[in-house]
Chain A
Amino acid sequence: MAALTIARLTIREAARRKLLLALAVLTVIVIGLTGWGFQHLTTLTNPDGSQIPADELRLATSQVLVLVEFMFSGVLALSAVVVASPAISSELESGVALSILARPVGRYQVVLGKWLGLAALIVVYVVATTTLELLVVDVTTGYVPPGPVGLAAYLSGEGVVVMSLALLISTRLSGMTAGVISLVLFFVAWIGGIAGAIGEVFGSGAIKNAGTITQLLLPTDALWRGSVYELEPVLYRDVLGATTERAGNPFFVQSPPSGVFLAWSVCWVVLIVSLTVWSLHRREV
Chain B
Amino acid sequence: MTSGVAGPLSSHPDDDAAVRTLELTKHYGDAVALAGLTMVVPRGEVFGFLGPNGSGKTTAVKLLLGLSRPTGGEAWVLGRPAGHRQTRRNVGYLPELFRYQGWLSAAEVLGLHCRLAGIERVEWPAQILGALATVGLTGHESARVDTFSKGMQQRLGLGVALLGTPELVILDEPTSALDPVGRADTRAIIRHLRDRGCAVFLNSHLLGEVEQICDRAAVVSDGRVLAIGRLDELLGSGGVRLRLTGLTDEARAALSRRGRVVEHDGWFVVDGVTAESVPDLVAEVVASGARVYAVEPVRQTLEERFLTLIDTDRARWRH
With an 8 A cutoff between CB atoms, is B267 at the interface?
Answer: no
Tell which of B88, B97, B112 touches A98, judged by Cβ atoms closer than 8 Å: B97
Tell which of B85, B94, B97, B101 touches A104, judged by Cβ atoms closer than 8 Å: B85
Chain A contributes a number of interface residues (CB within 8 A of B) equal to 21
Contact A95-B118, Cβ < 8 Å, known A5-B112, A102-B93, A285-B68: no
A2 to B113, CA, bound (A): 11
- For A284, the closest partner residue in chain B by CB is B68
Within 85-99 of A, Cβ neighbours of B (below 8 Å) are at 94-96, 98-99
Whether B95 contacts A99 by the Cβ 8 Å rule is yes
CB distance from B182 to the nearest CB of A (A): 19
Name the B residues within 8 Å of A106 (CB-CB): 85
With an 8 A cutoff between CB atoms, is B230 at the interface?
Answer: no
CB distance from B236 to the nearest CB of A (A): 36
Whether A17 contacts B103 by the Cβ 8 Å rule is yes
- For B112, the closest partner residue in chain A by CB is A9
Tell which of A17, A95, A102 touches B65, judged by Cβ atoms closer than 8 Å: A102
With an 8 A cutoff between CB atoms, is B148 at the interface?
Answer: no
Name the A residues within 8 Å of B86 (CB-CB): 104
Chain B contributes a number of interface residues (CB within 8 A of A) equal to 29
Whether A95 contacts B117 by the Cβ 8 Å rule is no
With an 8 A cutoff between CB atoms, is A138 at the interface?
Answer: no
- For B170, the closest partner residue in chain A by CB is A102
With an 8 A cutoff between CB atoms, is A100 at the interface?
Answer: yes
Name the A residues within 8 Å of B112 (CB-CB): 5, 9
Tell which of A16, A98, A105, A284 touches B95, judged by Cβ atoms closer than 8 Å: A98
Name the A residues within 8 Å of B116 (CB-CB): 2, 5, 100, 103-105
Tell which of A9, A16, A102 touches B67, judged by Cβ atoms closer than 8 Å: A102
CB distance from B235 to the nearest CB of A (A): 32
A101 to B66, CA, bound (A): 9
With an 8 A cutoff between CB atoms, is B99 at the interface?
Answer: yes
- For B101, the closest partner residue in chain A by CB is A96
Can you give 20 A-B contacts (C-beta < 8 A)?
A2-B115, A2-B116, A5-B116, A94-B97, A95-B98, A95-B99, A98-B67, A98-B99, A99-B95, A99-B98, A99-B113, A99-B157, A99-B160, A100-B116, A102-B88, A103-B117, A104-B85, A104-B86, A105-B116, A106-B85
Which A residues are within 8 Å of any B CB, using their own CB?
2, 5, 9, 12-13, 16-17, 94-96, 98-106, 284-285
Given contacts A96-B100, A104-B118, 6 further A-B contacts (CB under 8 A): A5-B112, A5-B116, A96-B101, A99-B113, A106-B85, A284-B68
